[in-house]
Structure 1
Amino acid sequence: MGNVMRGMSTESKVNTENLDASLKGTEEDMVVVLQDYPSPEISEPIYRMGEKLKVVAQEANWWRVRSLQTGKENYIPGSHIARVYHGWLFEGVERQKAEELLLLPVNRVGSFLVRESTRERGLYSLSVRHRSIKHYRIFRLDNSWYYISPRLTFQCLEDMINHYSDSADGLCCVLTSPCLSGTSQPPDASLGAPPVVMRRNFDWKKVDRYKSCNDNVVSYGVRNSIAAYLSFAGDQDPSRMKSDNRKKKSKSLYVVPEHGLPNTDYDEDF
């Protein structure tokens, strides 16, 4: 998988063909509102900070966008929005604005975003919501691999996010979900509480014993689950399967020898 790159169209309309191939198939036409527009002092805002919008066209300093909630189209200044790639890569968002976005009620502990430096392209920082907002610099080697801690390097930002979504591995917490990816709407009370189903604990280590049980002891659904488990797992232990799956998720992880790089473990971004 190649390194994450992003492209910007200079034409009046958004042209997705000008984007780097590594971004195609992602949210290249998605932007997030950085501040209410218009300002509440002027009138009732059309768009609120943190709202995600679909880009229809870019016309000079104004963008025509469509609300994902109402489907209505309107214009918003380019200074009030930022492009979002992969759901978590925010273009041109400064540290303070990243904190404001992550502190919105829609986010939870572990919500995160990767922001590109406003001073120099190709430099990134990871911002994570925890007890407070934590910021980590993302460094880049000469071979274009990325790292936060020199102990671990990654071929691309996606692999880095995948790794820290499985394990905190030195960060303040595990990454749970991209910033603003949740929903702020309360659950519908009319749906009532979910039904409670009482069931016995199932011990997969004793699966051979369950295979010999008659239909009255083991239900049809459980017998199908056993058959599927035996088909896919073979003689593997379930805990080992879970560990193997996690290893497959980030294939381009490389552990750097301790003497390979200076010991600047997890520098916090300032």
Structure 2
Amino acid sequence: MNTTRITALNYTTREYFLQIYDHRHIIKSLVRRDLKIKYSQSVLGWSWAFIQPVTALIIYSIFFRYVFDFQFDKYPYALYVLSGILPWHMFSQNLHQSSGVLLSEQELIRKIAFPKFILLLAKSIVSLIELSFGLILLLIYLTIQSRISWYILLLPAVILINHLVSMIIPIWISQFSVKKRDLLHLIPYLVNFGIWLTPIFYTIENTPKFLSTIIYANPMTGVILTYRLVLFGDPFPLEALISPAVCIGLFLLPGIALFKNFDKKIVDHI
């Protein structure tokens, strides 16, 4: 009897994702719409995809390098910061855009019947496209400097992990914020505090042991350290993989299952 229930659940989940695939044209339309709204009517256009992470790079590089006199001699410190800023920027943008998407797209949800998970996917794809621009610039620089190694072949897998981790919090908040909209007010705090618990500007080796344990518990730590492994060949502590793996298994996958069940009830709550 237990086997029958599990099989039915897997079948239902599989069918749900097949519905998403069948509605992929909606995903494309939403991605095009969001990119057009975000960039086409601005003076600098697509340049903003570069300006935002580069601005953060300049500010934090100056702050840590010259104000705190942070010593880093493995390779240019700007590259170290950029390799952390880009995946964090994707995470924070997806957190901002996806968490309240069920509320911001109320009219579309009422008019058209489609799997609502598509809305989260579309937002995450937009942040993924923005990540790609920064990574292309970084890869061009590394190629010119002859710093590319065979590790670079793992980059697509790292980007996928980055994408999955970036969806963990939005997939939960987007559901519960439909009923409890106070949850959306947590997002700025998560971003503002989370960035300091992520080794973007500093190295874990330079932090106290009790704090390094907290930093390793942050799934974005593992993501960023993996980027630095494939981009620069930095040493990679295996414990950095634990948090992303646990979060994807315990939070993302159940979150998707819960979202699938909540999908039918969304219209009744908005």
Same fold (TM over 0.5): no
Where relative contact order (Cα < 8 A, 6+ residues apart) is larger, the structure is 2
Larger proportion of strand: 1
Larger proportion of helix: 2
